[in-house]
Structure 1
Amino acid sequence: MAKIGDVLDDGPALEIVGISAYDERIYRGVLASPGITVQELVLRTGESPGRVQSSLSRLRAKGMVSRLWGRSPRWTATNPGTAIRSLVRGVQSELDRVTDTADALETAFRTAGEDPEEGGRFEILAGPEEIARWYVRLQQEAKEEVLTFDRPPYVLDYRNPLEGGRLRDGVRYRAVYAPEAFQHAGALEELENQLKAGEEARVLPGLPFKMVVVDRRLAIMPLHQDAPLTRSVLIRGSTVVVALAELFDRLWAEAVPMFPEIHENTPAGPEDRLTPDRRLLALLSAGLKDDAIARQLGMSPRSLRRRLRDLLDDLDAETRFQAGAQAARRGLL
């Protein structure tokens, strides 16, 4: 069995994938001594039991260690190559998203100094009332489609009374939601109503900002993300709008679909034929909280937790992180 010192000499290297220097030290200790107990880690590291236990919990959530059950619970490291490469892929996905945002903002930077007649027009909307008024007006003027990045904070109530009528008029609505958009009471129920009316919706953790793009020629986006929203910019006929629409298309392809309830008289499309387990895995990977997932799947939180335990067993996984990795390998996502 290796000594802890044998794997502690290289120094911290995993902070870039979200593992602190302290947690890496604990991980290296577990890696050096498979089947080690918390008490043994405390003796070897000189740290408190509570701090060591907290570190192990964080490492377990990231798929770095596993708990071996027995008379005295023991810990073992998962395969470092597999675990760390999974974390790297997650970081790379975030970096790609930041790059997409940078491309859109660079376009805005280059266009801002152009002649208004050639490069489009920018108008500052000051105050919640003016922002709300233009949000309504853009929807009323839409002829083909409305594209939305939806995340808090909100100027208006999260409900959109115009959407149902505009959908009936043939305007296509597509929205990418941040998971935190469903933290408001009644928000998920309102989304279900919009889905039944024809909205197409997906969820993506880490949504970079709010915006609405209409017919790929008009857009509104806030100039800051802090509540309350007091200043936004209205963009007309500019390459910035084109860039924002292209960014929407990229993140739409990356996001996880949300599904309405299927009624007996509603023909099922390809997405509606997904099994409950695949929907559960998709919603978990989107970062939704348990209560939001339970409502989306039409079950109680207790039933969801029971089903999740069964699913983890079926996938031979101890954590949601591991379940997502196993599901991806098996082609379930």
Structure 2
Amino acid sequence: MVLVWPIAAAAGNGHDLPMLEVLGISAFDERIYRAVLASPGITLQELVARSGESSGRIQSSLTRLQSKGLVNRLWGRSPRWTATNPGTAIRSLVRCFQGELDRVTDTADELETAFRAVGQDPDDIGHFEVLAGPEVLARWYRQVQQEAKDEVLTFDRPPYVLDYRNPLQSDRLRDGVRYRTIYAPEAFQHEGALDQLDTMLKVGEQARVLPGLPFKMVLADQRVAIMPLHLHLHQPLSRSVLIRGSTMVVALVELFERMWREAVPMYPQATPPDSTPGPVGDPAPEEDGERMDLDLEDRRLLALLAAGLKDDAIARQFGTSPRSLRRKLRHLFDELNAETRFQAGVQARRRGLV
């Protein structure tokens, strides 16, 4: 549900964009902070009434804000909340953040000294740059794709800096840039995500699904990569690192290829990802397996099952109820002559469906 705060609570930055994310304060927490700032002595119940959010979520937000020194709790029969002086509190957070950056810089200097001591030139190793703030990260995410000439490799999982859709991708695919993407199952929690994937597959994306992706990543032409410095599923990305021309990029490419081989192809019959032998192409089915044809809906269902999505998430992508989904599953299992999901997976593998 969208928060609806009093007008005064949004005052301060002249627009609706969150300004404190770079300090590790989420957009939601910032809105809670602004509400407390505008209404000194406000209670939890009043915040709940104004926002429509649960008391648990708002209480968690207040606790986080209190830990950062932005709000104080006034004890009494009905506890109330008040904001600390923003000039003092926020500047203190900025100093802490700057201190972290200074320590990183000092560490980089020490490591470079050690690096040179063994006769290596850092210019031969590559370039690392910390990207702070969602706007900076979004700009570089677009730029890396725009500069790609051959191929973009992606680990796709929440959270997202922009919308989970990538409007630039279809244009680059039409330009001849190849996209290979490994999706985490959580990437399909958004309604419409599967339809978006269908659109990208039609213009040439090669997609697979793999549970347990370790992090987000975009990597272009085996020379430049962006990956987050931290990854919390329910918190916005605040800092990432840009890596250019480094041996670490080579390692990330090797990791991608290994996980690509382990991942489940999306709709392999309808859109064969590649006929190229080696790590890019799909593994062939077992020679003794009987091939069979499935319609697009069954291929979708089989791919999402193999990827480990829960029934509720799959039903949401199909726009149906869990009960209707179970009927679809029963039909698919009958087609595969299977009684359980495990048996269905074995049969699908034998028949070259995953």
Q: Match of 1:309?
A: 330
SS in 1 for 2:154: strand
Give me the whole-angstrom Cα distance separating, in 2, the residues matched to 1:175 and 1:237: 21
- Kept in 2, the 8 Å contact 1:196–1:260? The answer is no
Give the TM-score taking structure 1 as reference length: 0.57
1:243 corresponds to 2:261: no
SS in 1 for 2:227: strand
For structure 1, the residue ranges without an aligned partner over 5 or more in a row are 1-108
In the TM superposition, what are the counterparts of 1:210-289 in structure 2 within 5 Å? 210-226=216-232, 227-259=235-267, 274-276=293-295, 280-289=301-310
CA offset at residue 216 of structure 1?
A: 0.2
Q: Match of 2:62?
A: none
Q: Match of 1:185?
A: 191
Give me the whole-angstrom Cα distance separating, in 1, the residues matched to 2:350 and 2:196: 34
Q: Match of 1:320?
A: 341
Q: Percent identity?
A: 71
| Superimposed CA distance per residue, residues 116-166 of structure 1 (whole angstroms, 9 cap, x where no aligned partner) | 301111111111111111001101100101100000011111111111111
**Residues 323/175 of structure 1: CA separation in 2 closer, same or farther (3 Å cut):** same
SS in 2 for 1:185: coil
Give me the whole-angstrom Cα distance separating, in 2, the residues matched to 1:321 and 1:218: 39
SS in 2 for 1:162: helix
Q: Which of 232-241 and 160-169 deviates more?
A: 160-169
| Superimposed CA distance per residue, residues 31-61 of structure 1 (whole angstroms, 9 cap, x where no aligned partner) | xxxxxxxxxxxxxxxxxxxxxxxxxxxxxxx
Letter of the 1:241 partner, please give it: V
RMSD: 3.6
- Kept in 2, the 8 Å contact 1:192–1:260? The answer is no
- Kept in 1, the 8 Å contact 2:191–2:317? The answer is no
Give me the whole-angstrom Cα distance separating, in 1, the residues matched to 2:176 and 2:353: 34
- Kept in 2, the 8 Å contact 1:192–1:261? The answer is no
Q: Match of 2:25?
A: none
Give me the whole-angstrom Cα distance separating, in 2, the residues matched to 1:267 and 1:247: 22
Q: What is the number of equivalent residue pairs in this alignment?
A: 221
Letter of the 2:307 partner, please give it: A
**Residues 253/137 of structure 1: CA separation in 2 closer, same or farther (3 Å cut):** same
Letter of the 2:342 partner, please give it: F
Give me the whole-angstrom Cα distance separating, in 1, the residues matched to 2:258 and 2:162: 27
Letter of the 2:139 partner, please give it: R
| Superimposed CA distance per residue, residues 89-123 of structure 1 (whole angstroms, 9 cap, x where no aligned partner) | xxxxxxxxxxxxxxxxxxxx99x956430111111
| Superimposed CA distance per residue, residues 14-37 of structure 1 (whole angstroms, 9 cap, x where no aligned partner) | xxxxxxxxxxxxxxxxxxxxxxxx
Give me the whole-angstrom Cα distance separating, in 2, the residues matched to 1:156 and 1:120: 27
1:151 corresponds to 2:157: yes
- Kept in 2, the 8 Å contact 1:148–1:176? The answer is yes
Letter of the 2:221 partner, please give it: D
- Kept in 2, the 8 Å contact 1:188–1:292? The answer is no
CA offset at residue 231 of structure 1?
A: 0.8
Give me the whole-angstrom Cα distance separating, in 2, the residues matched to 1:128 and 1:297: 31
**Residues 282/261 of structure 1: CA separation in 2 closer, same or farther (3 Å cut):** closer
Give the TM-score taking structure 2 as reference length: 0.54
| Superimposed CA distance per residue, residues 169-210 of structure 1 (whole angstroms, 9 cap, x where no aligned partner) | 111111000011011122222111111121111111111110
